[in-house]
Amino acid sequence: MNEEQMLEKKVWAVVGANQDPEKYGNKIYKKLKNSGYEVYPVNPGYETVEGDKCYGDLSSLPQKPYVIDMVVSPKRGRIIIEEAAKLGIKNIWLQPGTYDDKLLKRINELELDAVMACVLVALR
């Protein structure tokens, strides 16, 4: 699945969403939300993000997202993609700086689809 196809899916989770307006986890969450997406913030460190309930992991989301936007380090990302695969979530959007060779190799092994791009640029 390519960038355009993923952007057509309207239910997303932002892993690494946060409350700091200067950080990408916050900017991306707001951009998706303001662009008409149903988007869930995922970050065990927060109760809420932008006034919305924040979830500790993918398993606790009220519905399965079509796309996961990764705004976490590759090390943290490895745990997330394993969980995504178990839940049957196939589409992973990797922000710049969130992946390394090891993570990409594992995404291939799990037969997940990955896009490596900045969603803020893609939605401009």
Q: What is the pLDDT of residues 39-96, one digit of tens each?
A: 999 999 999 999 999 999 999 999 999 999 999 999 999 999 999 999 999 999 999 9
Domain ranges of the chain: 3-122
33 — pLDDT class (breaks 50, 70, 90): very high
Per-residue pLDDT, 13: 98
Per-residue pLDDT, 108: 97
What is the per-residue DSSP string for the chain?
Answer: --HHHHHH--EEEEET--S-TTSHHHHHHHHHHHTT-EEEEE-TT-SEETTEE-BSSGGGSSS--SEEEE-S-HHHHHHHHHHHHHHT--EEEE-TTS--HHHHHHHHHTT-EEEES-HHHHT-
List the CATH code of the domain at 3-122. Answer: 3.40.50.720
Q: pTM for this structure?
A: 0.97
Please, is 54 exposed, middle or buried when counting C-beta atoms within 10 Å of its C-beta (0-12, 13-18, 19+)?
buried
Residue 106 confidence (pLDDT) above 90: yes
Is 55 within 8 Å of 65 (Cβ atoms)?
no
- Per-residue pLDDT averaged across 102-123, rounded? 97
Per-residue pLDDT, 1: 85
- Which of 81, 44, 82 shows the shortest CA–CA distance to 60? 44
